[in-house]
Amino acid sequence: MSVPAAGRVAAVDLGEVRCGIAISDETATIARPLEVVGEGEVEERLRGLIDREGVSVVVVGVPKTMRGEEGPQARKVLEKIGRMRERFPAVRFVEWDERLTTRLAGGGKKKGPVDHLAAAHMLQEYLWARRS
């Protein structure tokens, strides 16, 4: 897994209603949660991050089953990733196994949306993995 030297990395936790977005720092070392947006706003928000923040890689969580298989929800997400790849051909989209990220982000105690925290957790995992 290599990331281009230039450009930030973003992550998206895609949901059917809301989606979490996270972004890395300029050195693509540290992830930070950015925001929770409606499902219909994700591509517009990504366009802004690509144009204004120099995002060149987007990590997207694929919700696999606990057995590591792709169920119906994962297939929906993979279809969305395919559409985003067509819309943003200059951006590299990385499919990332997101099992348990929402639960880890919320710790079972947080109230309200934690999708952006889940995206940041997933992004930090990716950033660590690419450095190993």
Residue whose pair of structure tokens reads 């309200």 in the numeric block: 112
Domains of the chain: 8-131 (3.30.420.140)
> What is the DSSP annotation of 35-84?
EEEEGGGHHHHHHHHHHHH-EEEEEEEE---TTS---HHHHHHHHHHHHH
pTM for the complete prediction?
A: 0.86
Q: What is the pLDDT along the chain (132 residues), one digit of tens a residue?
A: 343 445 799 999 998 899 999 999 999 999 999 999 999 999 999 999 999 999 999 999 998 878 777 888 899 999 999 999 999 999 999 999 987 565 565 555 555 688 999 999 999 999 999 887
pLDDT at 2: 42
